[in-house]
Amino acid sequence: MDFSWSTTQLAYKAKIISFAEANFSESFIKEDQEATFTRANWEKCAAFGLLGLSTTTAYGGATDKVDILTSTIAMEGLGYACKDNGLPFALNAQMWTVQYPILEFGSEAQKKKYLPKMCSGEWIGCHGLTEPNAGSDVFSMEMTATKVNGGYLLNGTKQHITMAPVADVFLIFAKTNPKLGAWGISVFIVDKNTKGLTIGKNRPKMGLRTVPFGNLTFKDCFIADTNRLGKEGAGWAITNSSLEYDRCTILAGQLGAMEKQLEDTIAFVKNRKQYNKPISQFQAISHRVADMRLRLETSRLLLQKVAWLKSEGKPATLESAMLKLQLSESFVASSLDAIRCNGGRGYITEHGVERDLRDAVGSIIYAGTSDIQKNIIAKLLGL
């Protein structure tokens, strides 16, 4: 068994860390408080080539073949050095839930039209699955796409959509055959200025506040047949094909943030003195840090296993559910431990410690809550 990365992969990670340290090492406190998205930072990542990781060179991407292992280590590097946890999250949301499905299922014309502009940062894409009455039970969605001459009429509402308020391209799931449940869902690529589409304002949230988040409403919104992604009824396959890639890379960004959080915590507890000695010498503190290290390691091992399985073209349903559960819950637990170790300092915004906790909570909800991951694991165990 070989867990080592190649020298090329490690060099790429180091290059990304230098890039992020040079560009994203400010505190982002103002942007976080004011819930502002900085498009210039998005464009810097695009210019560096990060948005090309999920797309092939023929369509403006970075490689001849999408390489999940390299993408994972790249995102770990970005998560480690970028002080804004929202940026890696949002980049990955577009790369794996918009670009990758278009690469896998799109027609030649769709790939040529949408992918180069998303890789270059000119266009931003978002993925609209969740609805007011369809969250975890997402295939019970109510949004419909009714066949009309030359296309479909979309009607319904999507909510909690990452990047929706600033997006140019919307990947929208709707029922083309409501009688078939999950098998009657199709996907449409909707352009920003389409008549009948209303884009909601940014809805500020607990964490990941630099990432705009909003609702979309569709009223008799006409989408041409040429903008259906894949065949009618391919919605289930489209969601599932990118899910494990999305999990690896979004969570890799968080793993990087956990690594930095651990380093910062160790440095602080060695330096901070109470009762005439560094607080690291109190076992309550050192054990807490040991727990943080263990969570980092178990999360990393699961992440590497899923990325490796995907790179081998193997299924990873069970492993990716365990990864999502373990890494997201670990980030929440370790973020709380980091605050405990920092005492009052950890609770004060200007030190940037408390923000990780707020950012981490999103990950136990999006892309399937922790309860849903446990359901999947249990089901796969035959329960």
Partner 1 sequence: MEAVLLNYITQLTHEQLDTPLTVDDDLLGSGILDSIGMMKLVSFIETELSMVIPPEDILIENFMTVKHIITYLKTT
Among 135, 196, 200, 278, binds ligand FAD (CB under 6 A): 135
What mask of x and - would describe binding to partner 1 in positions 169 to 208, judged by CB under 8 A?
Answer: ----------xxxxxx------------------------
CA–CA separation, 89 vs 220, rounded Å?
32
For residue 215, list its beta bridge partners.
none
Interaction residues for ligand FAD, span 80-109 (CB under 6 A)? 93
Alpha carbon separation from 140 to 85, 189, 317 (Å, rounded): 31, 21, 21
183/347 with CB nearer partner 1:
183
CA–CA separation, 174 vs 160, rounded Å?
16
What mask of x and - would describe binding to partner 1 in positions 135 to 174, judged by CB under 8 A?
Answer: ----x-----------------------------------
Per CB under 8 A, the segment of 74-82, 189-197, 235-243, 259-267 that binds partner 1 is: 235-243
Report yes or no: 324 and 373 within 8 Å, Cβ to Cβ: yes
Among 136, 140, 226, 271, binds ligand FAD (CB under 6 A): 136
Locate all alpha helices (DSSP H) within 272-313, ordered by sequence.
Answer: 283-311
Residue type, 147: K
DSSP label of 97: I
The site partner of 308 among ligand FAD, partner 1, none (C-beta below 5 to 8 Å per kind) is none
The site partner of 150 among partner 1, ligand FAD, none (C-beta below 5 to 8 Å per kind) is none
CA–CA separation, 37 vs 100, rounded Å?
23
Per CB under 8 A, the segment of 70-78, 188-196, 226-234, 297-305 that binds partner 1 is: 226-234
Is position 235 an interface residue for ligand FAD (rule: CB under 6 A)? no
Write 305-313 long-range contacts (CB < 8 A, 24+): 306/244, 306/247, 306/248, 307/68, 307/69, 307/72, 307/248, 307/252, 308/69, 310/68, 310/244, 310/245, 310/248, 311/67, 311/68, 311/69
Give every CB contact of residue 90 below 8 A, 6+ residues apart in sequence: 37, 42, 162, 163, 208, 211
The site partner of 362 among ligand FAD, partner 1, none (C-beta below 5 to 8 Å per kind) is ligand FAD
Is position 231 an interface residue for partner 1 (rule: CB under 8 A)? yes
* Residues of this chain that bind ligand FAD (CB under 6 A): 93, 126-130, 135-136, 160-162, 208, 362, 365-367, 369, 371-372, 375
Q: Which residues lie near partner 1 (CB under 8 A)?
A: 104-105, 139, 179-184, 230-231, 233-234, 236-238, 240-241, 315, 317, 376, 379-380, 382
